[in-house]
Structure 1
């Protein structure tokens, strides 16, 4: 039994009826800074490459179908997700004949992290570990280039890109940079469909983001996910993904995990994609949970600004209008993660569109 299934069974036993804080205290499994100790549903490979003068590695799953249809799908995870959270989608796609590649981006999950800031020790200032890369310029362009390099190493010339949340921002950037290699584009509750700073969300320094991230606990993750990802609902099946994240903050690499998270939040806040949606020329599917309210930094904004943020039904319709060849599928009762909250409805809509939609030339 995989760790994911063990945690899910434990969650079900403790919270069979409803979400209960008492069942899940903040003590629990501890994982390494590259999610060491947490099992993925398929074999994890490593792509070693050089970027910005540093030796890095991307973890990824490459799952082959039983009856191939000749097409490849790339799954890009969100900010508080990992490749493992695509578990059910990988199974659905491979059973339908697709080869599926699901990477962890640099700075996330099982892939390379950059060093945490200098901190005082009895012997002076030291980084958390001298073996880590000492810095990295996180941009969506860079993450797209890393993903492209991975696909080139695997001999993948064209693919359907599916991105969820922050992964949607990466998928959009990838499609803009490599339009001839993007057959289709699927955006699952992507963030970046509005410019938060232009709307009045105050900026945070990386140092401030870091201080906030150091306070992360299983309870804070769970409360946020319940409110935003699952539209106020809770199911025991969601708990493994809480523990996946919380375990890295319990482990020996807490500082480096929090630092990378802070850098990534700064990237997300400062690099909206909304202004370039009209340049996407490939067939594009927008899959939106209408009860999603995600907006980076919304809790920092004044009440009048906060009230204007994260209105996904409006954002989705505006995005669908801006993207030349867009199809919009809405899930009225779902939140930020429809693929997890209602996998049956999500996968039916996804597979139907993939089969019927044209592929870019």
Structure 2
């Protein structure tokens, strides 16, 4: 059947609208999206305002007396750790998984001085409230930068650290990525959609590969941007993007004084601000095979585990293999 161009355009427009309307819409604090375990709330005061940090606290059936804290990345939430939570709890670990302030089911204050030091202090306050003095700290993506700051700030409370494809293994600004204002970050975030999230993750995280299992995480993030709280979500993401870009931790790797394991998916190409960089700069950024080896050499006594066929999120791409290696890495206190 031959379709005239105006009719084709109308059909495509109708399909796009129908597709958008079929996607989920969540609240600014991810209301409507269910987590794999019951969500609890830690109420506290920070920077002269009341805040709430959502978290999961999963007790094992047969406790081994140890605790693991899982720290999410910037484009992730506590729920993204669902497979690791079950594996760790099954092995006897108590598992605590917070949503950081500004993310997912936690408060999104309009005025907050975001820093990794502040987020580390918030996390330490949560653990103190739960009577947890010492824990294994596992950080993925942006959570790797936070885990590093936590270990530097609270070495006595850090049993060991695991960094899973952490960002911040290079200083993007020093490498030549131009500075971007918070207002510019905000305008960029307001353009976020289900399709832009999927396209970014397919290209940068998974080297062009895509699996149906990843769609739930696209829906989780996209649903917040599609909901009535999109401005609050975009603003929080803009503020935290500024934090990530301007607060490198890579120079402090030699000061890390806790046992550390790096898990590096070799297909990852994540680099903050790469879209603003000159072509020659963008080409060399996010070289995770080289960055992982350099980080392992800089962190005293670090162990490097490489996943040749995986990208930015090994715990999502191959949960069974990742969980087995994670348990192995933390098996010895």
TM-score over 0.5 (shorter chain) = yes
SS of the counterpart of 1:91?
A: helix
SS of the counterpart of 1:307?
A: helix
Q: For residue 199 of structure 1, report the CA deviation from its aligned partner.
A: 0.4
- With structure 1 as the length reference, what TM-score do the two structures score? 0.86
Match of 1:350 in 2: 326
> In 2, are the aligned partners of 1:25 and 1:219 still within 8 Å (CA)?
no
Match of 1:80 in 2: 75
- Which digits, 9 at most, give the CA deviation of each residue in 1:193-222, with x for residues without a partner? 100000000111000000000000000000
Match of 1:37 among 32, 41, 55: 32
**How many residues end up aligned between the 2 structures?**
317
Match of 1:310 among 286, 296, 302: 286
> In 2, are the aligned partners of 1:218 and 1:242 still within 8 Å (CA)?
yes
Match of 2:151 in 1: 175
- With structure 2 as the length reference, what TM-score do the two structures score? 0.94
Q: For residue 25 of structure 1, report the CA deviation from its aligned partner.
A: 3.3
Within 5 Å, give how 1:1-361 maps onto structure 2: 25-27=19-21, 28-115=23-110, 135-356=111-332, 359=333
Match of 1:3 in 2: none
**Which of structure 1's runs of 4+ aligned residues deviate more than 6 A?**
none
> In 2, are the aligned partners of 1:281 and 1:325 still within 8 Å (CA)?
no
Measure the CA separation in 2 of the matches of 1:307 and 1:167.
24
Structure (1 or 2) with the greater helix fraction:
2
Question: Which stretch has the larger CA shift, 337-346 or 98-107?
Answer: 337-346
Match of 1:10 in 2: none
Gaps of 5+ in 2: 1-14
- Which digits, 9 at most, give the CA deviation of each residue in 1:179-201, with x for residues without a partner? 00000100000001100000000
Measure the CA separation in 2 of the matches of 1:42 and 1:88.
11
Gaps of 5+ in 1: 1-20, 116-134
Measure the CA separation in 2 of the matches of 1:155 and 1:231.
42
